[in-house]
Structure 1
Amino acid sequence: MSYAPQKRHSNRAKRWIITIGIFIVVQMIFIAIDGTFLEPSINDSDNVLAKTVRGILESKLLTERIAPYSFPFFNLFLIVHVVAILIQALGDSISAIFAKR
Protein backbone atom coordinates (compact mmCIF):
# COMPACT_ATOMS: atom_id res chain seq x y z
CA MET A 1 0.00 0.00 0.00
CA SER A 2 2.91 2.36 0.40
CA TYR A 3 3.41 2.40 -3.38
CA ALA A 4 -0.06 3.72 -4.24
CA PRO A 5 0.58 7.49 -3.83
CA GLN A 6 3.79 7.37 -5.84
CA LYS A 7 2.13 5.33 -8.60
CA ARG A 8 -0.80 7.76 -8.70
CA HIS A 9 1.67 10.66 -8.98
CA SER A 10 3.56 8.82 -11.72
CA ASN A 11 0.37 8.15 -13.69
CA ARG A 12 -0.69 11.77 -13.35
CA ALA A 13 2.73 12.98 -14.54
CA LYS A 14 2.62 10.63 -17.55
CA ARG A 15 -0.88 11.80 -18.42
CA TRP A 16 0.20 15.45 -18.26
CA ILE A 17 3.30 14.83 -20.37
CA ILE A 18 1.17 13.08 -23.00
CA THR A 19 -1.47 15.83 -22.92
CA ILE A 20 1.03 18.67 -23.28
CA GLY A 21 2.95 16.71 -25.92
CA ILE A 22 -0.16 16.18 -28.04
CA PHE A 23 -1.09 19.85 -27.64
CA ILE A 24 2.35 20.97 -28.85
CA VAL A 25 2.37 18.54 -31.79
CA VAL A 26 -1.11 19.64 -32.91
CA GLN A 27 -0.14 23.31 -32.66
CA MET A 28 3.02 22.69 -34.69
CA ILE A 29 0.91 20.99 -37.38
CA PHE A 30 -1.52 23.92 -37.39
CA ILE A 31 1.36 26.39 -37.70
CA ALA A 32 2.75 24.43 -40.64
CA ILE A 33 -0.62 24.14 -42.41
CA ASP A 34 -2.05 27.61 -41.65
CA GLY A 35 -2.20 29.82 -44.73
CA THR A 36 -1.33 27.06 -47.21
CA PHE A 37 -3.35 25.04 -49.70
CA LEU A 38 -3.46 22.20 -47.15
CA GLU A 39 -6.18 23.88 -45.07
CA PRO A 40 -9.30 21.72 -45.10
CA SER A 41 -12.41 23.10 -46.75
CA ILE A 42 -15.54 22.81 -44.67
CA ASN A 43 -18.59 21.86 -46.71
CA ASP A 44 -21.41 24.34 -46.16
CA SER A 45 -24.26 22.10 -47.27
CA ASP A 46 -27.89 22.19 -46.11
CA ASN A 47 -26.92 20.25 -43.01
CA VAL A 48 -28.00 22.04 -39.82
CA LEU A 49 -24.82 21.01 -38.01
CA ALA A 50 -22.62 22.38 -40.81
CA LYS A 51 -24.47 25.70 -40.72
CA THR A 52 -24.14 25.87 -36.94
CA VAL A 53 -20.41 25.17 -37.08
CA ARG A 54 -20.00 27.74 -39.86
CA GLY A 55 -21.79 30.32 -37.69
CA ILE A 56 -19.46 29.56 -34.79
CA LEU A 57 -16.40 29.72 -37.03
CA GLU A 58 -17.42 33.12 -38.42
CA SER A 59 -18.07 34.59 -34.98
CA LYS A 60 -16.17 37.68 -33.91
CA LEU A 61 -14.52 35.71 -31.10
CA LEU A 62 -12.75 33.35 -33.51
CA THR A 63 -12.02 35.82 -36.28
CA GLU A 64 -10.87 38.89 -34.35
CA ARG A 65 -10.35 38.34 -30.63
CA ILE A 66 -8.73 34.90 -30.42
CA ALA A 67 -7.08 34.55 -33.79
CA PRO A 68 -3.54 33.18 -33.74
CA TYR A 69 -4.34 31.37 -37.00
CA SER A 70 -5.90 32.70 -40.20
CA PHE A 71 -8.12 29.60 -40.50
CA PRO A 72 -11.01 29.88 -37.97
CA PHE A 73 -11.33 26.11 -37.48
CA PHE A 74 -7.82 26.02 -36.03
CA ASN A 75 -8.79 28.81 -33.63
CA LEU A 76 -11.88 26.85 -32.54
CA PHE A 77 -9.83 23.70 -32.05
CA LEU A 78 -7.28 25.66 -30.02
CA ILE A 79 -10.00 26.99 -27.71
CA VAL A 80 -11.58 23.55 -27.24
CA HIS A 81 -8.17 21.99 -26.54
CA VAL A 82 -7.21 24.67 -23.99
CA VAL A 83 -10.59 24.34 -22.24
CA ALA A 84 -10.14 20.55 -22.07
CA ILE A 85 -6.67 20.98 -20.57
CA LEU A 86 -8.01 23.46 -18.00
CA ILE A 87 -10.81 21.05 -17.03
CA GLN A 88 -8.24 18.28 -16.60
CA ALA A 89 -6.07 20.59 -14.48
CA LEU A 90 -9.03 21.50 -12.29
CA GLY A 91 -9.98 17.84 -11.87
CA ASP A 92 -6.43 16.84 -11.00
CA SER A 93 -6.15 19.71 -8.51
CA ILE A 94 -9.38 18.74 -6.79
CA SER A 95 -8.42 15.07 -6.66
CA ALA A 96 -4.99 15.96 -5.25
CA ILE A 97 -6.57 18.11 -2.54
CA PHE A 98 -9.06 15.44 -1.49
CA ALA A 99 -6.52 12.60 -1.75
CA LYS A 100 -4.42 14.21 0.99
CA ARG A 101 -7.33 14.17 3.43
Structure 2
Amino acid sequence: MDVFKCSVRLSDGKVVTCDGIAYEGKLWLVPLWLRHPRNLVVLPERIIRFDSFPHQKTEGGDLDYQSIQLPIPKSALRGEVPEGIEYIDHPQNIQVPVHLLRR
Protein backbone atom coordinates (compact mmCIF):
# COMPACT_ATOMS: atom_id res chain seq x y z
CA MET A 1 0.00 0.00 0.00
CA ASP A 2 1.37 3.41 -0.99
CA VAL A 3 1.47 6.22 1.55
CA PHE A 4 1.42 9.79 0.25
CA LYS A 5 1.58 13.30 1.76
CA CYS A 6 -1.35 15.72 1.81
CA SER A 7 -1.84 19.37 2.73
CA VAL A 8 -5.26 19.89 4.28
CA ARG A 9 -7.13 23.14 4.97
CA LEU A 10 -9.59 22.63 7.81
CA SER A 11 -12.79 24.54 8.51
CA ASP A 12 -11.12 26.53 11.29
CA GLY A 13 -8.55 27.88 8.80
CA LYS A 14 -5.67 25.69 9.97
CA VAL A 15 -3.52 23.95 7.36
CA VAL A 16 -2.03 20.61 8.36
CA THR A 17 0.09 18.01 6.60
CA CYS A 18 -1.17 14.47 6.86
CA ASP A 19 -0.42 11.07 5.38
CA GLY A 20 -2.91 9.63 2.94
CA ILE A 21 -3.67 6.21 1.47
CA ALA A 22 -5.85 4.70 -1.23
CA TYR A 23 -8.13 2.06 0.30
CA GLU A 24 -11.10 0.27 -1.26
CA GLY A 25 -11.02 2.60 -4.27
CA LYS A 26 -11.23 5.78 -2.16
CA LEU A 27 -8.71 8.33 -0.87
CA TRP A 28 -8.27 8.65 2.89
CA LEU A 29 -6.29 10.80 5.32
CA VAL A 30 -4.38 9.04 8.09
CA PRO A 31 -3.96 11.56 10.94
CA LEU A 32 -2.09 9.13 13.21
CA TRP A 33 -0.26 5.84 12.76
CA LEU A 34 0.01 3.34 15.61
CA ARG A 35 3.11 1.18 15.79
CA HIS A 36 2.46 -2.56 15.97
CA PRO A 37 3.91 -3.89 19.26
CA ARG A 38 5.75 -6.82 17.67
CA ASN A 39 6.05 -6.27 13.92
CA LEU A 40 7.72 -3.51 11.92
CA VAL A 41 4.40 -2.17 10.65
CA VAL A 42 2.10 0.71 11.48
CA LEU A 43 -1.70 0.70 11.58
CA PRO A 44 -3.93 3.75 11.12
CA GLU A 45 -5.72 4.85 14.26
CA ARG A 46 -8.43 6.32 12.01
CA ILE A 47 -8.88 7.09 8.34
CA ILE A 48 -10.96 10.01 7.04
CA ARG A 49 -12.21 10.02 3.47
CA PHE A 50 -11.25 13.09 1.46
CA ASP A 51 -11.87 12.31 -2.22
CA SER A 52 -15.48 13.47 -1.97
CA PHE A 53 -14.26 17.01 -1.08
CA PRO A 54 -12.37 19.53 -3.24
CA HIS A 55 -8.75 18.45 -3.63
CA GLN A 56 -5.92 18.76 -6.11
CA LYS A 57 -3.25 16.20 -7.05
CA THR A 58 0.25 17.63 -7.43
CA GLU A 59 3.15 16.57 -9.60
CA GLY A 60 6.58 16.44 -7.98
CA GLY A 61 7.62 18.16 -4.77
CA ASP A 62 7.03 16.99 -1.23
CA LEU A 63 3.22 16.80 -1.42
CA ASP A 64 1.15 14.37 -3.45
CA TYR A 65 -2.18 16.12 -2.77
CA GLN A 66 -2.71 19.72 -1.79
CA SER A 67 -5.51 22.17 -1.23
CA ILE A 68 -7.74 19.51 0.27
CA GLN A 69 -10.71 21.42 1.71
CA LEU A 70 -12.31 19.51 4.59
CA PRO A 71 -15.31 20.97 6.43
CA ILE A 72 -13.97 19.71 9.76
CA PRO A 73 -12.07 21.30 12.65
CA LYS A 74 -8.62 20.11 13.72
CA SER A 75 -10.25 18.18 16.60
CA ALA A 76 -11.75 15.82 14.00
CA LEU A 77 -8.25 14.55 13.24
CA ARG A 78 -8.04 13.48 16.89
CA GLY A 79 -11.30 11.56 16.86
CA GLU A 80 -14.21 14.00 17.06
CA VAL A 81 -15.30 13.51 13.43
CA PRO A 82 -18.59 15.28 12.75
CA GLU A 83 -21.63 13.60 11.26
CA GLY A 84 -21.61 13.41 7.48
CA ILE A 85 -17.85 12.76 7.16
CA GLU A 86 -16.96 9.18 6.21
CA TYR A 87 -14.32 7.70 8.49
CA ILE A 88 -13.25 4.38 9.94
CA ASP A 89 -11.80 4.02 13.43
CA HIS A 90 -9.11 1.33 13.80
CA PRO A 91 -9.49 -0.30 10.37
CA GLN A 92 -8.43 -3.90 10.89
CA ASN A 93 -6.96 -4.83 7.53
CA ILE A 94 -4.55 -1.95 6.87
CA GLN A 95 -0.89 -2.46 7.74
CA VAL A 96 2.01 -0.52 6.27
CA PRO A 97 5.69 -1.41 6.71
CA VAL A 98 7.40 1.29 8.76
CA HIS A 99 10.04 1.90 6.07
CA LEU A 100 7.35 3.08 3.62
CA LEU A 101 6.47 6.15 5.73
CA ARG A 102 8.02 9.39 4.51
CA ARG A 103 8.97 11.91 7.13
**TM-score category (smaller protein):** under 0.3
User: What's the TM-score, normalizing by structure 2?
Assistant: 0.20
Structure scoring higher RCO (CA < 8 A, sep ≥ 6) equals 2
**Higher strand content, 1 or 2:** 2
Considering only CA atoms, is the larger Rg found in Structure 1 or Structure 2?
1
